Amino acid sequence: MKKNVLKKIIEEFQESELPVVIKRRAIDVNPDINKVITIVGPRRVGKTYYIFSLIKDLLEKGMKKSRIVYINFEDERLLPFTSQDFDAILEALYELYPEIRKERIYFFFDEIQEIPLWEKFVRRLYDARKARIVITGSSSKLTSREIATSLRGRALSYELFPFSFEETLRAKGLEINNRLMYSGKRFKVKKFLNEYLEFGGFPEVVLSKDRNSRLRILNEYLNTIMIRDLVERYNIRNVNALKTLIKFLVSNISRSFSLNSYYKMAKQQTPLTKRTLINFVSYLENINLFFFINKFSHSLKAQMVNRKKVYCIDVGYRTATGFYTSEDVGWRMENIVFLKLKQREVANPLIEIFYWRENKKQEVDFLLKEGQKLRQLIQVSYRIDEAQTRKREVEALTTAMGSLHLSEGLVITEDYEGYEKIKGKKIKFISLAKWLLEE
């Protein structure tokens, strides 16, 4: 019975046309590499469409479609699917296409974490050395760490994020080139950047034209992550405390977060142990809903004890939870810059992201470290045209450059651009839109 269902699913894929896909540039996956490729990311981030883009690339290179198998394990026709049913996939495929039995097959398994003991089947399939395998899973259910443990060195993991700003513009139909910011389309770029700052980069949200629909979609995503994924996965009982923590973090993106300070405040409002709070923060970080970066120090101990800065996977969540004012655009800009830097970190494991602080008054938003070398200081400033703000931001940057022996610094602004030399230090000012598109 299961084999017949699988035959139908395999044949449907063979006969269907692949949907139009937007080329994702944040990660570069080669399905021909002799590793199990795993693509993880939040729900609704576009993992399935990324798989379709990989399949399209194979077909464009002349691959026979019969050698490609795509199965979505959230397909209700497969339910109930158990570990004993995995062998039926190969039986169904070879009965449909006996001529490919000795050829290399490319398997694309979507949301495979839904099936118990999936890793044993994947390992067995991989060890046969005949297959190429790409799997996806929601980061709330399948983390990179768990994949590494399950597949025991056989896997390469890639994290997929919501659309970058460049991908957002491509989704809106704009061609990205060196002339874009100087053409008449620059006004569209500005309009779409304002939307990106308000609603973020989840593909379904980007492609939606209605504000209310965007807000409903974002709320649905957040509720799914909170209730279905976090609560079910970690067997959370104190759901109200979790919701309160998420709302607090969303309302404080791009700012420092102290677990001890939050605990003192939260325990007065809801019953909560410190161990529970530590676990909640760990869960949110594991599923990549929030990211916490350390203050730079040459001492690992100092990095651990200092306050961290918090960023969210998508600034649209801030809007969906009711936090959107003209005053918080700077926080949103900083969060978007962080996400771009995070994609660099994903692409280059040697990169680490810190913030720098000399004292309570002087802070630089980002310090990039690559291996043992300090590479770049980045300040994000929305109102750089205001004299007091400009003085504060530039002084902090030049102090950090002197302390860390860096000769250049970068300030990302709303739209001001230029170069300045201060105390022998070179500072480049660049608009957010241009910086997001320059790579």
Q: What is the pLDDT of residues 369-390, one digit of tens each?
A: 999 999 999 999 988 888 888 8
How confident is the model at residue 305, as a pLDDT?
A: 72
- Which strand (E) or helix (H) includes residue 346? helix 329-347
pLDDT-based confidence at 1, cuts 50/70/90?
Answer: low
pLDDT of 33 strictly over 90: no
- pLDDT for res 137: 82
Which pLDDT score, from 0 to 100, does residue 434 have?
94
| pLDDT score of 245 more than 90 | yes
Q: What is the mean pLDDT of residues 295-302?
A: 80
Q: What is the identity of the amino acid at 102? A: K
Confidence of residue 59 (pLDDT cuts 50, 70, 90): very high
Phi-psi region of 15 (alpha: psi -120 to 50; beta: other; left: phi over 0): alpha
Q: Are 66 and 95 in contact (CB under 8 A)?
A: no
Res 414: pLDDT: 92
Higher confidence at residue 267 or residue 277?
A: 277
Between CA 94 and CA 351 the distance in angstroms is: 45
Tell me, what's the pLDDT at 152? Answer: 74
Give how far Cα 384 sits from Cα of 379, 430, 435, Å: 10, 11, 16
> What average pLDDT score do residues 60-64 get?
93
Domain ranges in the chain are: 2-160, 195-437
Superfamily of domain 2-160: P-loop containing nucleotide triphosphate hydrolases (3.40.50.300)
C-alpha gyration radius of the chain: 24
Per-residue pLDDT averaged across 241-252, rounded? 93
Q: In what order do the strands lie in the sheet with 363-370?
A: 256-257, 308-312, 290-295, 351-357, 363-370, 373-381, 408-413, 425-431, 418-422
Give the pLDDT score at 323. Answer: 65
Q: Would the pLDDT of 37 be above 80?
A: yes
Global confidence as pTM: 0.91
Query: Across residues 314-319, what is the average pLDDT?
Result: 94
At 77-135, the pLDDT tens digits run: 998 898 889 999 999 999 999 999 889 999 999 988 878 888 899 999 988 877 899 99
pLDDT at 347 over 70: yes
Which pLDDT does position 142 carry in this prediction? 67
Chain segment 399-423, per-residue pLDDT in tens: 999 999 999 999 999 989 999 998 8
SS3 assignment, position 61:
coil
pLDDT per position as a tens digit, 127-171: 887 789 999 887 766 666 677 677 877 888 888 999 999 999 999
Q: Give the per-residue SS3 of 99-131.
A: HHCCCCEEEEEECHHHCCCHHHHHHHHHHCCCE
Please tell me the predicted confidence (pLDDT) of residue 424. Answer: 84
Mean pLDDT rounded to a whole number for the chain: 89
The amino acid that residue 136 corresponds to is T
- Give me the pLDDT at residue 95, please: 94
pLDDT at position 144, please? 64
